[in-house]
Structure 1
């Protein structure tokens, strides 16, 4: 798949974003790299990235396999990772860790303020708990952090629940659900073996136009992870920020 044009007819800046739970790279790594390289994203929001022993070189190796560079994430954001192409300038980054519920995995979020030319925006990613009792609280903390951002916002997340759930509603409030904007809310993202749920979401600030949305279902994607990647082409406002 080719890279979208850098600007559209209105003067807005085009941005291609991929949100992808890579299943801790437990599946076909060559297929994983091929899927991402073929889609040519500007930004990849990764869930289940390296977060333990030697996480820094592992994150760097993952980025290199995609033809990208690390912006932020890994251990500080508990497995959430932001990767960018050289087209994107990363200005500032920060991470969030949710409080640990005893007996559960720690979860977190990652943020990066970026720019392409004069267009500035913030990308954020998170992976919420599988536990329905702690997931709404994590969503509330994530939403509070998102609300502090004034720039146009792009949010990719594995919410571990379908649309309509409490956590999903919290994150979606005031945002555009890219799938719904494209009238493709019926496209499932999980699991690749038995697609039955849309638990991977990509939300954008209302100031951002959703030009295209796709759940990438190919034989290669089915080998690469247990989640399908979510791809969007966006148009950033001409005077973003």
Structure 2
């Protein structure tokens, strides 16, 4: 969650409030909506930063895939995933279930995915909750920010016909993430000013907007409750 350089676009009082809020989100758990029409490689770089420093020994990671062809964990991590500290839940949206009842297994990973073959969002929520519970049991209780969660992607959910079911699913899941003091980010590769982002943004602690400038990843943070937006920042891998 940290970034190099000053937090541009904010006056001094707001800059202090912004930094304080980021620290609070790390202590209490957070869910971030990551948006922007950027190449997949750029989104992977942002994901790598949000997953935290892989040198931290007690870091644990949970990946949630809603598309048959991803994510490949090796693309999100600079070192091979540790099966004792990494989990993958794989779900197929109902519209795809008829064509393929079993999603394709991501290649190049040593992590056996937990497959959710029924299309209901409630089944996906249960599977994610069980993986969080397994991490909690293995550690005797997770420390703040020990568990990092990557949800890839919200596009299949946004295409679902039942808006109320989607809202309930995300509301309950984000509450569970916060109760575990985990840090989660949800990929949603659409424009920040789109109606779909406006509809989902109130559920999240912040919206992180991505772009490419001078060939480099940049991100801009929008804190919902505080009504604050940063300038464009160059991210670095956090702790």
Q: Give the TM-score taking structure 1 as reference length.
A: 0.38
| Bigger Rg, which one | 2
Report which of the two has the higher share of strand: 1
Q: Give the TM-score taking structure 2 as reference length.
A: 0.38
Using CA pairs under 8 Å that are at least 6 residues apart, name the structure with larger relative contact order, 1 or 2: 2
